[in-house]
Structure 1
Amino acid sequence: MAGVVLRGDEELLTGRWVILVLLTGFLSGCGNGDSLETFGGPTMGSTYSIKYVRHANLPAPQEVRVEVEKILADIDRQMSTYRADSDISRFNALPADRCQVMPAAILELIRVGEQLSQQSEGSYDLTVEPLMNLWGFGPQGREEKVPDAAALAEVRQRVGHQHLRIDGDRLCKDAAVEVDFNSIAAGYAVDTVAARLEALGIHDYLAEATGELKASGKKLDGSPWRIALEEPRDDLQVTERVINIDGYGLSTSGDYRNYFQQDGRRYSHTFDARTGAPVLHDLASVTVIHPSALVADGLSTLLLILGPERAWDYAEKHDIGAFFVIRADTGFVTRTSHAFERLSGAKVD
């Protein structure tokens, strides 16, 4: 979960595997009436935070907060699988061969999910929730354990994006599939909040939800937003890389916090829909930088599913800005795509 921790002269905003570094100069005014505004709170089972530079004639901070929290509440009401009254939960409860009128946002994410499924040859899929429940990771999961072959075979019949169809403003299914937006909903939320901030005349901001983020413009002191990418460890915080962000979304997906071990093997909450099982490889986390936080969110999950070699090839082929953290015998090693080096302002040797 995201949270704010004070340490010396730095303020760390931690969210999954990303740290936002805010230097002391950012917290002081510029002498021209500009000020830093910051607020946050709970959302999507985690937290969100907004930081922006308020110039003259911009809306009052409370007005901005109301606008942001309305967006987040709408997304939660539409897409949360942890509340029975959400639009997607009601759809998931329907039997096969049924349709339901859906908000435009859900239909948009279904289309994005279909593209990601096709691009990954079916490894990425929005309909893996029955698998996650079976393995103990989903909202209805009861016990984290390796399921027996018969149970796995039965559930796999209810997984696959090909079972979904959009008919006008309705979402339909020809099997009892269940949709889970956890891999893209936060990115969508960040993009939507960022668009609203821009519409309100706010162009210097950092918007973050559950660890996904987007930054634009400059901090109060005129310096860029600086993001430190953290090594995926539970015991301490180790910064692997610091980059500047302006006009881009950033998303990190990893497997090191939500997992269980059985018979000496590690099973994470990241699933390959083609096998019906958690991925078993050495790619610990992937960070993607992209103009759209939604796309970055989906691609970070897609690349994590593919594993270190396939993900690297995919990122290079499609010019994706990706930062990989890979387990090795001596700890962790990192690898960056050429697009990541270019977008983060660094040079490739």
Structure 2
Amino acid sequence: MKLAVFQPVIAVAFATALTGCLHSGKVEEFGGPTMGSTYSVKYVTAEGVADALTLKAETEAILGEIDRQMSTYREDSVISAFNRAPAGSCMAVPAGMLEVVRMGLQLAQESGGAFDPTLEPLLNLWGFGPQARVERVPSAEQLAEARLRSGYRHLRIDGRQLCKDVDLQLDLNSIAAGYTVERIVSRLTELGVGSYLVDVTGELKGAGKKPDGQSWRIAIEAPRDDQRVAQRILQLDGYGISTSGDYRNYFEENGVRYSHTLDPQTGAPITHTLAAVTVADPSTLRADGLSTVLMVLGPERGLAYAEQAGIAAFFVTREGEGFVTRGTTAFEQLFAAGEEQ
């Protein structure tokens, strides 16, 4: 059964199946479809860990719950009901959805609007949203009208309610997967799992050691359309990883490439040379949002923002026919020890 459906996050990080020789316990894995993409859970069996059927059932219960709350591709979801509500209205929403919106508003304020959870009308207009009819460049009049129905400053939290001042529409796809990873990790921990690697649509978190004593390893892909090539291998222990990129989800018109990542300041796709950015953070929810922030800001402003804020980020920028990579100070310090090339 296919769980519906967020647009898949553009991920250039993927889990490597490097388990080594097993001395005690063993690595088990389960997964399936979710959010228009897939999820997987790798974990180490040990005394006190729940059985595989329970772990999978609990994981998929979380996936189903979040889908019912935050999928803009379901007419019966909570977010779709909020999006249909008129300007000036408030609506009670589940605590998890409030947590995600709160993070979105925090990121928006911290970044000066580089992140905005209210871009659904613009995403639809450009052909990247659930109500999109065709990928095309909109007219100036269409763009202006859609921008009137977006803007995070028109959204607020009032107790357990979300309120909107204009006829805006939420889109939480840029942080929902990171939140989902955190929810799954929390539940797995409650069920006795101490060593895991969780991947939801390319957002990852790993902690603990495998039976061979090694950390979980993930690879950052080179930003190529034709094949998957590992660019750097990172060891994870307690960190979430999120990657945003513009090289697999885009359309072209009259020889111009239009990315699915929109700049909230212009309402249009980003036009700079940053191809992808990977963020590491103890919170996969925050990492998910920060990767979008830095992707919007671009190579120069994004790098400066990440350095100033102490964000562990890895930038891949187009230069001529190739790419140039650069990690922030925090990124290089975090992964200097034990990194495998």
Q: Give yes or no for TM over 0.5.
A: yes
Shift in Å, 1:16: 2.2
Which of 256, 269, 274 is matched with 1:283 structurally?
A: 274
CA distance in structure 2 between the aligned counterparts of 1:116 and 1:276, rounded to whole angstroms? 18
Conserved? CA contact 2:221–2:230, under 8 Å: yes
CA distance in structure 2 between the aligned counterparts of 1:205 and 1:262, rounded to whole angstroms? 43
Total equivalences in the alignment: 330
- RMSD (CA atoms): 1.5
Matched, 1:243 2:234: yes
The within-5 A match list for 1:94-173 is 94-173=85-164
CA distance in structure 2 between the aligned counterparts of 1:311 and 1:264, rounded to whole angstroms? 27
Conserved? CA contact 1:287–1:322, under 8 Å: yes
Determine which structure has greater relative contact order: mean sequence separation of CA pairs < 8 Å that are 6+ residues apart, divided by chain length.
2
Shift in Å, 1:294: 0.4
One-letter amino acid of the structure 2 residue matched with residue 336 of structure 1: G
Shift in Å, 1:201: 1.5
One-letter amino acid of the structure 1 residue matched with residue 200 of structure 2: A
Shift in Å, 1:261: 1.3
CA distance in structure 2 between the aligned counterparts of 1:170 and 1:324, rounded to whole angstroms? 37
Find the residue that maps to 2:223 and give its secondary structure: coil
Shift in Å, 1:73: 0.7
Which of 190, 206, 211 is matched with 2:181 structurally?
A: 190
Find the residue that maps to 2:90 and give its secondary structure: strand
Which of 296, 302, 305 is matched with 2:296 structurally?
A: 305
2:308 equivalent in structure 1 = 317
One-letter amino acid of the structure 2 residue matched with residue 202 of structure 1: V
Conserved? CA contact 1:38–1:50, under 8 Å: yes
Find the residue that maps to 2:20 and give its secondary structure: helix
2:3 equivalent in structure 1 = none
Which of 40, 48, 72 is matched with 1:81 structurally?
A: 72
Conserved? CA contact 2:10–2:248, under 8 Å: no
2:20 equivalent in structure 1 = 25
CA distance in structure 2 between the aligned counterparts of 1:205 and 1:246, rounded to whole angstroms? 9
Conserved? CA contact 2:119–2:169, under 8 Å: yes
Conserved? CA contact 2:18–2:217, under 8 Å: no
After superposition, give the CA deviation of every residue in 1:90-125 in whole Å (9 maximum; x if it has no partner): 100111111111001111111111111112211210
Matched, 1:46 2:41: no
One-letter amino acid of the structure 2 residue matched with residue 99 of structure 1: C
CA distance in structure 1 between the aligned counterparts of 2:268 and 2:337, rounded to whole angstroms? 37
Gaps in structure 1 of 5+ consecutive residues: 1-13
Shift in Å, 1:184: 0.3
2:5 equivalent in structure 1 = none
Find the residue that maps to 1:183 and give its secondary structure: helix
CA distance in structure 1 between the aligned counterparts of 2:151 and 2:98, rounded to whole angstroms? 16
Conserved? CA contact 1:15–1:212, under 8 Å: no
CA distance in structure 2 between the aligned counterparts of 1:62 and 1:176, rounded to whole angstroms? 44
CA distance in structure 1 between the aligned counterparts of 2:203 and 2:229, rounded to whole angstroms? 19
After superposition, give the CA deviation of every residue in 1:239-288 in whole Å (9 maximum; x if it has no partner): 21111110100000001111111222211110111111011000000000
TM-score normalised to structure 1 length: 0.92
CA distance in structure 2 between the aligned counterparts of 1:58 and 1:112, rounded to whole angstroms? 31
CA distance in structure 2 between the aligned counterparts of 1:215 and 1:284, rounded to whole angstroms? 25
Conserved? CA contact 2:125–2:132, under 8 Å: yes
Conserved? CA contact 1:37–1:53, under 8 Å: yes
Shift in Å, 1:25: 2.1
Gaps in structure 2 of 5+ consecutive residues: 1-8
Conserved? CA contact 1:244–1:345, under 8 Å: no
One-letter amino acid of the structure 2 residue matched with residue 323 of structure 1: F
Matched, 1:93 2:84: yes
Find the residue that maps to 1:58 and give its secondary structure: coil
CA distance in structure 2 between the aligned counterparts of 1:47 and 1:237, rounded to whole angstroms? 17
Q: Which moved more, 1:217-226 or 1:144-153?
A: 217-226
CA distance in structure 2 between the aligned counterparts of 1:101 and 1:326, rounded to whole angstroms? 42
Identity of aligned residues (%): 56
Which of 258, 267, 272 is matched with 1:267 structurally?
A: 258
1:199 equivalent in structure 2 = 190
Conserved? CA contact 1:243–1:345, under 8 Å: no
